[in-house]
Amino acid sequence: MADDDDVTSMYEFLDALRDVITSSDPAKRELLAEMIDGYANDFPDDFFWATGAQAPVLLHNLMIEIDSSCRPDAQSKPRPAIRIVDRKPQGSA
């Protein structure tokens, strides 16, 4: 890559994605928000993995950006952090 080439960072990509979603038709944004909620309800393990700390950074940021930009600010849904519960070992270990 030449020194004069611009590099597009993940954050520039996410900003552009947010701009596209927030400038789109409000009814389509609402439908997208409903689909995200439906996916989160129907496949919680997949959804919360994709938005959690174990997901690759780009996937995590992409899912969060899409989820928050398709909703009005007043309806933004903070997603809870999912923790794996420590369990006592079974048996005499």
Task: Answer whether residue 31 is part of any domain.
Answer: yes
Task: Answer whether residue 90 is part of any domain.
Answer: no
Task: Answer whether residue 85 is part of any domain.
Answer: no
Task: Answer whether residue 21 is part of any domain.
Answer: no
Q: What percent of the chain has pLDDT over 70?
A: 73
Task: Answer whether residue 83 is part of any domain.
Answer: no
Q: What is the pLDDT of residue 73?
A: 65
Q: What is the pLDDT of residue 74?
A: 58
Rounded to whole angstroms, how far apart are CA atoms 50 and 33? 16
Task: Answer whether residue 62 is part of any domain.
Answer: yes
To the nearest 10°, report the CA torsion of 64, 67, 71, 77. Answer: -70
Task: Answer whether residue 10 is part of any domain.
Answer: no
Which residues constitute the domain of residue 40? 26-73
Task: Answer whether residue 51 is part of any domain.
Answer: yes
Domain count, the chain: 1
Is this prediction's pTM over 0.75? no
Confidence class for position 62, pLDDT limits 50, 70, 90: confident
